């Protein structure tokens, strides 16, 4: 049952359901073989529904590929060339969009880094007014520099 494609499984389940309806309408019991086939098909459908979407897609792709029977040489050369041309164009377009997005990102990060450098160079307080009447005038030694925590002691 695991080798059936999605369409084949759905078709067989529809056939089995029609068989069940006919048996119920005619009040005839199902054979053991029919019950086993019904149970196997139902179990397979439940297992496929329980799969994560990514695993289900991968298995569907593998089943479809195995059941189509198309040999690699069946496609014409013109069809292969069209496919490759389309893929190249799509890849080129994706690269173009990725480069544009990267350029925009670089511009934003450059602005951020410039702002950070600017903030490092500027003081975090307003400039003080010079005071020339103390023991030492500010033009000789800035009094704020004397009381700054990073100024070394004498």
> pLDDT value at position 78?
84
Where exactly are the structural domains of the chain? Answer: 1-69
Residues 98-126 have pLDDT tens digits of 999 999 999 999 999 999 998 888 877 66
What does DSSP assign to residue 1?
A: -
Residues 37-62 have pLDDT tens digits of 889 998 988 988 898 988 888 888 88
Q: Output the average pLDDT for the chain.
A: 82
Tell me the pTM.
0.40
Output 82 or 134, whichever has higher pLDDT: 82
Sign of the alpha-carbon torsion through 99, 105, 111, 117: negative
Q: What whole-number distance in Å separates Cα of residue 123 and Cα of residue 104?
A: 30
What does residue 51 show for φ and ψ, rounded to 5 degrees?
-70, 150
> pLDDT value at position 95?
95
> pLDDT value at position 100?
96
């Amino acid at each position: 049952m695991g080798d059936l494609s999605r369409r084949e499984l759905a078709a067989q389940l529809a056939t089995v359901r029609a068989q069940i309806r006919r048996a119920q309408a005619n009040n005839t019991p199902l054979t053991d073989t029919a019950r086993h086939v019904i149970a196997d098909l139902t179990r397979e459908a439940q297992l496929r529904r329980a799969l994560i979407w990514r695993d289900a897609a991968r298995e569907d792709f593998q089943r479809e590929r195995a059941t189509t029977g198309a040999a690699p040489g069946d496609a014409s050369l013109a069809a292969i060339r069209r496919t490759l041309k389309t893929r190249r164009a799509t890849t080129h377009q994706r690269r173009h969009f990725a480069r544009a997005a990267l350029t925009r990102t670089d511009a934003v990060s450059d602005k951020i880094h410039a702002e950070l450098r600017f903030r490092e160079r500027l003081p975090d307080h307003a400039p003080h007014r010079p005071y020339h009447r103390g023991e030492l005038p500010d033009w000789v030694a800035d009094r704020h520099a004397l009381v700054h925590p990073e100024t070394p002691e004498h």
